[in-house]
Structure 1
């Protein structure tokens, strides 16, 4: 249960203010009547991307000495926390995939947007930490992605006008640094 909850919380926090939330807003603006397809596309893209990431994290955990993993995880959480403070830029890879509809566009764009993103890195880190519970990690990171993006798909415009993004980034940074420090104190 710890792997699932940690994964859900970590990705939900990391996703706040991320480029995929901007991508969700863009997709809803483009495919306003197909929010369900957008949400399903987010689910599919995240399952595939984070499944591969979790497998990679489990594989790396087998290569790295066990006493190093706690330090790597702790320092990585702190690094991701600091990374959250850096605003994302919108990528301009949308144009070609939009002609295939909301579901296909969302799957392709979300998968691409997640490559090398902080939530993908967090998934690799979590999988290395909980290598015996990869399914719980993938399920948790996917739920975290949905928790952060589904409200944006349905209420994004209103939410973005009311909550200051800088405050959200600083809070997310603080939570990641706290998770990193807690991991380091377990070492």
Structure 2
């Protein structure tokens, strides 16, 4: 296992997830006094694992058909479009 890559991926996803709507939704579920906090933690963790698995599988499939260079351009344009759309909607 390449620990440098592992740490980079962990840091990137960790920073990206801080304060996003998923974390806020988890916070709201945990704020309910009648809900077991371990249930919230396990449910949120399983959801993140499942979405990450989908991302890895999709990335593996797509990389078989599109070069990494083109994927970076597509991702960059996608982020710019999402950012623009977010600014327009704000």
Task: Decide: shared fold, TM above 0.5.
Answer: yes
| Structure with more relative contact order (C-alpha pairs < 8 Å, separation 6 or more) | 1
Match of 1:30 in 2: 32
CA distance in 2, matches of 1:81, 1:39: 32
* CA positional deviation for 1:11: 1.0
1:66-85 deviation line (CA, Å, top 9, x unaligned): xxx1463377369659968x
Q: Residue 72 of structure 2 corresponds to which residue in structure 1? A: 73
Distance across 1 between alignment mates of 2:35 and 2:23: 18
1:59 aligned onto 2:58: no
Q: Using structure 1 for the length normalisation, give the TM-score.
A: 0.36
Q: Identify if the C-alpha distance between structure 1 residues 62 and 34 changes in structure 2 by more than 3 Å, giving closer, same or farther.
A: same
RMSD of aligned alpha carbons = 2.9
Q: Determine the structure 2 residue equivalent to 1:4.
A: 6
Count of paired positions: 82
Runs (5+) with no aligned partner, structure 1: 88-187
